[in-house]
Structure 1
Amino acid sequence: MSDAAEDTRQWSPPMIRPVPSCRIAADDPGPSTLDLNDEPTRTLAIRMARHKARQLAARSEFSPADREDLAQELLLHVIRRAPKFDPSKGSIQAFIATLIARRAASLLRREMAAKRDAHQCCSLNMLIRADDGTRVELASTITEDAPDPRLFKRSRHSQHRVEMASDIATVLSRLPDDMRQLCERLKRESLSAAARSMGIPRSTLATRLSKLRKTFAAAGLDEYL
């Protein structure tokens, strides 16, 4: 059995309702529509979406468990863009390949940005160097009652980091429970893993991270972001 046949047999794609098509004059030669209700076209789109999903799932930004979700998201993008097909600009296969490639690049950028935001918003465990040469966690430097004695003599750079850590802790303390929970999870998990364990779409978590960035920026922590 070919890879294409195996892909379409093992995977149930989202239900495709009749898709509006982009038509040209009846006397114009060549295919004039991208009809995803047509079995060969549907099979082609599924095969290409799954192929790209396998490539994405193999990257460090994703995991094998993301493969089916990625394939469905890529295919749904093709469905939404089907009416934009213009036969004068290329073949159906080239059109689908371009849609999938661009959507895959967008998903990858979003995942990389989400991971970067997670690191930026949840780095109180990062190690900094005290003046005596030892390393301590940022979080340990923000207690008011019992500060680490190794940090009494700080350089200006170290003092700045301590103040920044205190500001970060203040912002985190004011976040809603779901936002704080997300930050805690992202200290240990990737965005995709957090989405699975929380039962929330990855795109939803990415949106929350975007809101976190705005919250930190509003608190004057643009340098940290």
Structure 2
Amino acid sequence: MPLDSTYFKSAINAAAARAYQMATRFGLSHADREDLHQELLLDLLERAEQFDPDKGSAGTFTGMLSKHRASEFLYRLTKDRWRLSFCSGNEPDEGATDPLDALADTDAVLPQWGEVTNGFDELHFARDLDHALSRMDDEQRALFSLLLEHQDTPSACEASSVSSATFYRRLTDLKMHLRMFGIKAAA
């Protein structure tokens, strides 16, 4: 079956727009952005036969599909970076706790590849943290401030004005945001 030109244009637009959106929101490198763009475009073209114009527009179909595929890409990218920075093998250590649970301790925040050892690294870390903070939305920035103020997660959760489930979901989102900028918490 030949590819519909409307679907083809929608696929190109959706892949480009989603790659740009994710790159600016999460600070992806140029290489990661290109990988995401190519992966989205290929996936959208492979799934062209699943599109039914009677059920919806090509733009809606490609937009929703690109959203789901982009989140999967970011999950895999984060998982790969976590493995590189925390593990020696392919799987996380079963006995290890999540090193990002120490996020509330500002002295524990370190660059992804190890401890700050000199002024040059500290300068780059400060720049990376400033960049991550500048890319946060208001909700993430408020949570980060709350964690800095209370210095421990349970008391920050109690002080927040949201349910504990919402608080910990937002904390997970904040951790992912910081991971995307190469920042992790010390174990």
Q: Same fold (TM over 0.5)?
A: no
What interval of TM-score do these two structures reach, taking the shorter chain for normalisation?
A: 0.3 to 0.5
The higher relative CO (CA closer than 8 Å, separation ≥ 6) is in 2
Q: Which structure has the highest helix share of the two?
A: 2
TM-score between the two structures when normalised by the length of structure 1: 0.38
Q: Which of structures 1 and 2 has the bigger CA Rg?
A: 1
TM-score relative to the length of structure 2: 0.45
